[in-house]
């Protein structure tokens, strides 16, 4: 039964901002008590919405319903129109209530909580909103659907066959409930992108500038892939391999790989691949994967610029940091 539940509230209080629980009115566990569904409901007239707007922005979007759609439009002199912002809808009373729904899964002794934000207009009363929220739980087989199920790749028909689209970012989360896989992937993605931006600014750009000054015959110009220079690193980030295509003084382009080891504060050129020269620059993700697929588990360019980390120890030990009595086999200090 969906009712006020102190145990669920305590679980949420320990894992989300307390302010997000304003208007908490109930929740329910599944029979095994390893899944939960809970919700809040707030009459916007009863609060200062400015105290909630920042937290709501962090939820990355919202749904809205039960209001006059025409009131949502802002008409422009050229005859076009656009939707009003959330703040405008609040100020003009188009949105009367907001609700945050919480779905949780207990996985490996840890609760994973996902939140969703909804706004409701003046075409529905408070009791009906609560009924609308609770009805999701009343759906048949609720605890074995959607986010509670194991993550499944997207499949679609093509030429009479069912094609399954591979999503390499979820490979390491196979067997986990979809909710858990999504949250783990999102967290890893944020951490890795932050590290990638930091590494580009702090290490790659100064290093490439130095190469351009000290060896202009080989490194006249550098070209990154997508939004920066591609970084490949294990989850622990104790070392980083990075690459680019560079133009030499003969106007020829070639893919180059480098490794930075923060323990020694040294840069190395990675010599195992032997890329060819081209007389033009190009989008070189395929060439990176062509080099890596022979010696690592990375066999798809979707690995690049993703949440994935190169956690293939055989790759690092036998093809990057391999040594003999003379030193590194495939690294040349630069």
For the stretch 198-224, pLDDT in tens is: 999 999 999 999 999 999 999 999 998
CB atoms within 10 A of CB 104: 24
**Could you report the per-residue pLDDT of 259-302, keeping only the tens digit for each?**
999 988 999 999 999 888 888 877 889 999 999 999 999 999 99
pLDDT given at position 183: 96
- Residue 36 banded pLDDT, cuts 50, 70, 90: very high
What is the phi/psi pair of residue 246, to 5°?
-130, 145
pLDDT at 46: 96
Contact 212, 220 (CB under 8 A): yes
Integer CA distances (angstroms), 144 to 36, 109, 227, in order: 12, 19, 40
Under 8 Å between Cβ of 310 and 298:
yes
pLDDT at res. 140:
77
Q: Could you tell me the pTM of the whole model?
A: 0.88
The mean of the pLDDT values for the chain is 93
Taking the C-alpha atoms of residue 116 and residue 109, their distance in angstroms, rounded to an integer, is 23
What is the dihedral angle through the alpha carbons of 136, 139, 141, 142, rounded to the nearest 10 degrees?
0
CA–CA dist 297, 30 (Å, integer): 39
What the block records as the tokens of 94 is 């188009």
Nearest alpha-carbon partner for 148 in 125, 179, 172: 179
> What is the Cα–Cα distance from 139 to 116, expressed in whole angstroms?
18
Residue 204's pLDDT is 97
Please report the pLDDT score of residue 79 as a whole number.
83
What is the C-alpha to C-alpha distance for residues 306 and 185, in angstroms, rounded to an integer? 10
Could you list the beta-strand ranges (E) of 123-176: 155-158, 161-164
**pLDDT at position 153:** 77
């Amino acid at each position: 039964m969906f009712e006020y539940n102190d145990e669920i509230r305590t679980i949420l209080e320990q894992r989300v901002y307390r302010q997000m629980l304003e208007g908490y009115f109930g929740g329910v566990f599944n029979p095994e008590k390893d899944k939960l569904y809970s919700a809040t409901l707030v009459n916007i007239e009863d609060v200062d919405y400015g105290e909630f707007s920042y937290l709501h922005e962090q939820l990355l979007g919202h749904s809205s319903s039960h209001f006059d759609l025409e009131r949502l439009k802002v008409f422009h002199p050229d005859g076009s129109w656009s939707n009003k912002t959330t703040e405008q809808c609040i100020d003009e009373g188009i949105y009367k209530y907001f609700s945050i729904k919480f779905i949780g899964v207990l996985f490996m002794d840890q609760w994973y909580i996902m939140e969703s934000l909804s706004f409701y207009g003046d075409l529905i009363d408070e009791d009906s909103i609560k009924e609308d929220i609770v009805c999701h739980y009343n759906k048949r087989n609720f605890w074995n659907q959607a986010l509670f199920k194991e993550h499944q790749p997207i499949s679609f028909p093509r030429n009479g066959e069912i094609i399954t689209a591979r999503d390499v970012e979820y490979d390491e989360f196979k067997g986990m409930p979809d909710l858990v896989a999504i949250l783990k992937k999102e967290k890893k993605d944020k951490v890795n992108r932050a590290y990638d931006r930091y590494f580009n600014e702090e290490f790659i750009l100064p290093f490439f500038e130095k190469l351009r000054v000290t060896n202009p015959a080989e490194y006249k110009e550098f070209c990154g892939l997508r939004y920066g220079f591609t970084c490949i690193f294990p989850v622990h980030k104790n070392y980083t391999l990075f690459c680019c295509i560079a133009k030499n003084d003969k106007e020829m382009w070639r893919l180059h790989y480098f490794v930075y080891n923060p323990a020694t504060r040294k840069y190395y050129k990675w010599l195992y691949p032997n890329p060819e020269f081209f007389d033009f620059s190009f989008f070189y993700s395929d060439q990176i994967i062509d080099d890596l697929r022979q010696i690592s588990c990375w066999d798809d360019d979707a690995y690049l610029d993703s949440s994935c980390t190169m956690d293939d120890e055989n790759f690092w030990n036998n093809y990057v940091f391999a040594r003999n009595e003379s030193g590194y086999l495939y690294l040349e200090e630069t």
